[in-house]
C-alpha cells in the first residue's frame, strides 16, 4: 500500500485559495478513478474535483467551511502500489505527493463530462500544453478513448454490455396443493389499485424535470394530447419563486450577524469596485413598446420547431443585442490602456442571481447560433447557474452582457460593467401600460431598456445608436429576418 497526500489543485483559473464546501467521501470509503470526492468554492464558482487515484480514503485533512491555499494537502488516500505501477511515470513537481507511484497525466475534459485521465507521462504532457486541469498537471491534445469494461476472465472489452444473470430457479417448488391455496388467497385478497396512466412527455421535458428534481408522475399535464409541457414542469418546481421571499421569517434573536467576505462574494466585491472606479460609466435609457415581441413569442411557443424549448423575452433581447453589435461593433470591445480590442465574435454574458451570489456566465460564439440553438444555450446556462454548477471556463472571455432585472419586477437600473467589457444592457419588466398609438391611448406591453458603457471606448452617439437598434428589434422582431 502507498499513501497519497492529495493537494488542493489550481483548477485552471489562476486560483490561489478555495473553500472546502462539502466532502463527498469519508474515511474508510473506497474511491475510484474520476469519482467526485469534494466540492470547493473558488473566487468564481462551485467546482467538483474528480479523483486521479483509486484507493481507500484514510483521512480528510481539512474540515468543511475552511479556506486553504492551493497546494495544501486536503486528503490522504491509501492505494495499491502494484495496481498502479504499470501505468505510473515519474512524479512531476506539481503532482500530489506519493510514496512510490503517481497517476498518469490528465487529458483535457470533454464538454459536460468529468476529466478523462490518459496514460501520457506528466512531464511530456507539460511540455505540450500550459493548461492545468484540476491540478493534476498539464496535458497535450485530448485523447478520445472508449470506456473499458472488465470481463469475468479479466480481459478488457470496449463498450461491452454487462452480462445479465437470470434469476435463480426456486429450490423447493411448492406442491400443487400449496399453489392452489396460494391462488385462492390471492383471489380473496383486496384488489390492487389500477396502474397510473403513462406519463406523456418529450425527452427535453423529461431532462428538464430531472434537472429540477420534479417527479413527472405528480405533474398535471396541460398539453393538447395530455402531455406534460415545459410550463407544467416549471410550475411544479416553483421556479418562478426561486428568488422571491415565500414567507416572512422570524426576527433572529442575535442583534447582529457577521458574514465572512470570501469566495464568490469577495470576487463580486473586487470586480465591482474595479469596474466602478476604473471605467468611466455613462448610462442611457429608452422606453419600448414590446407588444409585437410578446406576439412573436406566442407564435414561437406554438411552433413544433421550439417544442420543449423555453421561450422568453430574454431570447429576443439576446438576438437584438447580437444584431445591434454587428451594426455598432465598438460596443463589443475591450480597453487595455494601450489599445482598444474590438471583438468580431459575441460571447454573450447573462448576469445570473444564484444562491451563492451574482455570476456572469456567457454563451460562447452566440453570433453563429440559430434562434433554437440560442434558446437552448440560454436555458442550459440558467439551469446550471441556479444549481451552482457553473464552471470557471463558462465565465471567462465574455464580450458583452445582459442583466435581466425584469424577472424581479424592476423597470430599469444602472448596471455596472462586467470587468473587461465596455457595454452592459439591462432589460426591465414587460407589463401593460397606457401607450399612444396613432393618436389614441391604448394598453400595450411596455418595457424600459437601460445600458451602461465605458466612455473611454464608447462615445454617446455610438451608445445611443446601439440602444436604439436594440429597441427597434424589441418593437419589431421581424427585423431579425433581414
The model's pLDDT over 123-137, given as tens digits with 9 standing for 90+, comes to 333 333 333 433 344
Specify the pLDDT at position 21. Answer: 85
Residue 270 in any domain: the answer is yes
Q: Is the pLDDT of residue 175 over 50?
A: no
Residue 227 in any domain: the answer is no
Specify whether 146 is located in the same domain as 267. no
Specify whether 307 is located in the same domain as 436. yes
Residues 6+ apart with CB under 8 A from 345: 365, 367, 368, 399
Record the pTM: 0.56
User: How many other C-beta atoms are found inside a 10 Å radius of the C-beta of residue 63?
Assistant: 8
Q: Between these two residues, 341 and 146, which has the higher pLDDT value?
A: 341
Mean pLDDT highest for which of 187-196, 200-209, 334-343, 349-358?
334-343
Query: Residues 63, 67, 72, CA angle at the centre, nearest 5°?
Result: 85
Domain boundary among 119, 150, 181: 150
The model's pLDDT over 229-260, given as tens digits with 9 standing for 90+, comes to 877 787 777 543 444 444 566 778 888 888 88
Specify the pLDDT at position 159. Answer: 43
Specify whether 316 is located in the same domain as 462. yes
Q: Between these two residues, 311 and 53, which has the higher pLDDT value?
A: 311
158 catalytic? Reply is no
In CATH, what number is assigned to the domain containing residue 100?
Answer: 2.40.50.100
Q: Between these two residues, 392 and 23, which has the higher pLDDT value?
A: 23
Q: Is the pLDDT of residue 328 over 90?
A: yes
In CATH, what number is assigned to the domain containing residue 378?
Answer: 3.30.559.10
Q: Is the dihedral of CA 393, 396, 399, 403 positive or negative?
A: positive
Binned at pLDDT 50, 70 and 90, residue 14 comes out as: low
Catalytic annotation, pick one of 136, 149, 281, 455: 455
Domain boundary among 150, 172, 187: 150
Specify the pLDDT at position 32. Answer: 87
Domain boundary among 150, 181, 198: 150
Torsion angle, alpha carbons of 131, 133, 134, 138, to 10: -70
Residue 249 in any domain: the answer is no
Residue 177 in any domain: the answer is no
**In the chain, how many domains are there?**
2
Give the pLDDT mean for 340-358. Answer: 89
| Domain enclosing residue 94, as ranges | 2-150
Specify whether 271 is located in the same domain as 408. yes
Scored b (16 or more CB within 10 A) or e, 388-417 reads bebbbebbeebbbbbbbbbbeebbbbebbb
Residue 256 in any domain: the answer is no
Give the pLDDT mean for 335-348. Answer: 94
Specify the pLDDT at position 226. Answer: 81
Q: The cell 486541469 sits on which residue? A: 133
Residue 216 in any domain: the answer is no
Specify whether 278 is located in the same domain as 146. no
Residue 176 in any domain: the answer is no
Residue 332 in any domain: the answer is yes
Amino acid at each position: 500500500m502507498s499513501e497519497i497526500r492529495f493537494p488542493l489543485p489550481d483548477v485552471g483559473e489562476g486560483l490561489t485559495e478555495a473553500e472546502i464546501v462539502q466532502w463527498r467521501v469519508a474515511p474508510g470509503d473506497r474511491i475510484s478513478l474520476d469519482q467526485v470526492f469534494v466540492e470547493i468554492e473558488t473566487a468564481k464558482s462551485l467546482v467538483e474535483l474528480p479523483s486521479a487515484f483509486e484507493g481507500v480514503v484514510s483521512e480528510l485533512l481539512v474540515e468543511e467551511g475552511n479556506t486553504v491555499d492551493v497546494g495544501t494537502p486536503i486528503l490522504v488516500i491509501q492505494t495499491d502500489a502494484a495496481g498502479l505501477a504499470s501505468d505510473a511515470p515519474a512524479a512531476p513537481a506539481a503532482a500530489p505527493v506519493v510514496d512510490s507511484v503517481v497517476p498518469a497525466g490528465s487529458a483535457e475534459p470533454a464538454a459536460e463530462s468529468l476529466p478523462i485521465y490518459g496514460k501520457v507521462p506528466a512531464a511530456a504532457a507539460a511540455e505540450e500544453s500550459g493548461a492545468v486541469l484540476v491540478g493534476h498537471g498539464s496535458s497535450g491534445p485530448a485523447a478520445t478513448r472508449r470506456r473499458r469494461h472488465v470481463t469475468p476472465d479479466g480481459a478488457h472489452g470496449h463498450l461491452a454490455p454487462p452480462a445479465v444473470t437470470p434469476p435463480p430457479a426456486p429450490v423447493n417448488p411448492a406442491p400443487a396443493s400449496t399453489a392452489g391455496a396460494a391462488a385462492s388467497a390471492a383471489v380473496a385478497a383486496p384488489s390492487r389499485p389500477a396502474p397510473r396512466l403513462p406519463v406523456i412527455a418529450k425527452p427535453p421535458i423529461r431532462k428538464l424535470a430531472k434537472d429540477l428534481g420534479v417527479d413527472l408522475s405528480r405533474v398535471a399535464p396541460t398539453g393538447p394530447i395530455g402531455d406534460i409541457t415545459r410550463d407544467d414542469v416549471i410550475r411544479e418546481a416553483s421556479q418562478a419563486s426561486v428568488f422571491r421571499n415565500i414567507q416572512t421569517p422570524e426576527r433572529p434573536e442575535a442583534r447582529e450577524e457577521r458574514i465572512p467576505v470570501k469566495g464568490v462574494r469577495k470576487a463580486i466585491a473586487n470586480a465591482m469596485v474595479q469596474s466602478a472606479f476604473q471605467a468611466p460609466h455613462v448610462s442611457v435609457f429608452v422606453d419600448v413598446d414590446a407588444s409585437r415581441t410578446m406576439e412573436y413569442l406566442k407564435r414561437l411557443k406554438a411552433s413544433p420547431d421550439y417544442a420543449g424549448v423555453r421561450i422568453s423575452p430574454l431570447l429576443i433581447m439576446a438576438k437584438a443585442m447580437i444584431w445591434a453589435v454587428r451594426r455598432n461593433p465598438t460596443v463589443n470591445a475591450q480597453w487595455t490602456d494601450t489599445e482598444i480590442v474590438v471583438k468580431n465574435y459575441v460571447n454573450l454574458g447573462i448576469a445570473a442571481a444564484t444562491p451563492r451570489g451574482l455570476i456572469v456566465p456567457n454563451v460562447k460564439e452566440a453570433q453563429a447560433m440559430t434562434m433554437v440553438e440560442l434558446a437552448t444555450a440560454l436555458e442550459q446556462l440558467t439551469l446550471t447557474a441556479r444549481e451552482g454548477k457553473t464552471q470557471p471556463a463558462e465565465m471567462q472571455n465574455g464580450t458583452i452582457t445582459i442583466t435581466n432585472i425584469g424577472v424581479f419586477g424592476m423597470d430599469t437600473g444602472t448596471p455596472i460593467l462586467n470587468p473587461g467589457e465596455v457595454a452592459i444592457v439591462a432589460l426591465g419588466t414587460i407589463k401593460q401600460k397606457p401607450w399612444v398609438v396613432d393618436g389614441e391611448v391604448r394598453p400595450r406591453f411596455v418595457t424600459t431598456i437601460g445600458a451602461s458603457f465605458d466612455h473611454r471606448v464608447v462615445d454617446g452617439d455610438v451608445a445611443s445608436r446601439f440602444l436604439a437598434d436594440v429597441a427597434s428589434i424589441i418593437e419589431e422582431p421581424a427585423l431579425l429576418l433581414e
